[in-house]
Amino acid sequence: MADTTSGGTDVFEIMHTTRSMRRLRPDPVPDELIRKILQAGACAANGGNTQRWRFLVVKDPAIKKAVAAYYKRAFQEVVGPRYRSSPPPPGVSPERYQRQHSAVEYLTEHFHEAPVWIVACIEDAAPPTRWSGASVYPAVQNMLLAARALGLGSTLTTRHLLHEKEAEAALGLPPGVHSYAILPIGWPMGRFGPVGRGALADIVYQDRWGQPYPGL
């Protein structure tokens, strides 16, 4: 398993340790680092290289608070009950899953305290489709990896979309612009650790669905 504590930039180490960091310090993050993260995002693949992505950097406490209220409401209405009744996912022990629950609750309460948010959007008159998502999530993943490489914590969040209209109004998005993720970014309180995932053998097939891929 990758070394989870060093500040190295080996891409495999970074990928193996880019887990959701939900406990963040409110201390400011230099714009130079945010710029690097945004630049990494804008390197990503996107359909036809049309680059319809737009990134809203939010630092204004009032805006974050207004959106965070919908994020919290969605937890109370949907996400909390779902978490409480679901088993641990593949590759995750019950204890680790419990820690995840606590971290999810923590972020729910402290979402607005992350010093910087990057809201990943697509500007397109047409209604959002699977293709629109496919043209922004590679950028989102690049930004998560870049943040990790810089020692900054983040989490891909989409829960505000359960109250999409209200949250996007609070973000001040103009017509034709939709949000796909909010990345709260800050210095992590804890350490980066390995991600918990199931075995490849359970999810990879060769030629025919269900037929094992012998290359593992």
Ligand X SMILES: Cc1cc2nc3c(=O)[nH]c(=O)nc-3n(C[C@H](O)[C@H](O)[C@H](O)COP(=O)(O)O)c2cc1C
Nearer residue to ligand X within complex by CB, 135 or 157: 157
Rounded to whole angstroms, the Cα distance separating 209 from 97 reads 30
- Read off the tokens for 201: 């053998």
Q: How far is the CB of 36 from ligand X (least distance, A)?
A: 21
4 binds ligand X (CB under 6 A): no
Residues 29-88 that bind ligand X (CB under 6 A): none
Nearer residue to ligand X within complex by CB, 47 or 198: 198
Q: How far is the CB of 58 from ligand X (least distance, A)?
A: 16
Nearer residue to ligand X within complex by CB, 5 or 206: 5
Rounded to whole angstroms, the Cα distance separating 148 from 158 reads 19
Query: Residue 158 to residues 46, 131, 161: CA-CA distances in angstroms?
Result: 20, 17, 6
- Which range touches ligand X (CB under 6 A), out of 17-25, 58-66, 113-121, 203-211? 17-25
Find the radius of gyration of the CA atoms of the chain: 18
22 binds ligand X (CB under 6 A): yes
| Binding residue for ligand X, selected from 14, 34, 67, 107, defined by CB under 6 A | 107
- Read off the tokens for 131: 């293709």
19 binds ligand X (CB under 6 A): yes
114 binds ligand X (CB under 6 A): no
Q: How far is the CB of 207 from ligand X (least distance, A)?
A: 28
Nearer residue to ligand X within complex by CB, 84 or 208: 84
| Binding residue for ligand X, selected from 15, 20, 25, 83, defined by CB under 6 A | 20
Residues 117-176 that bind ligand X (CB under 6 A): 155-159
Q: What does the binding site for ligand X look like in residue numbers (CB under 6 A)?
A: 19-20, 22, 104, 107, 155-159, 195
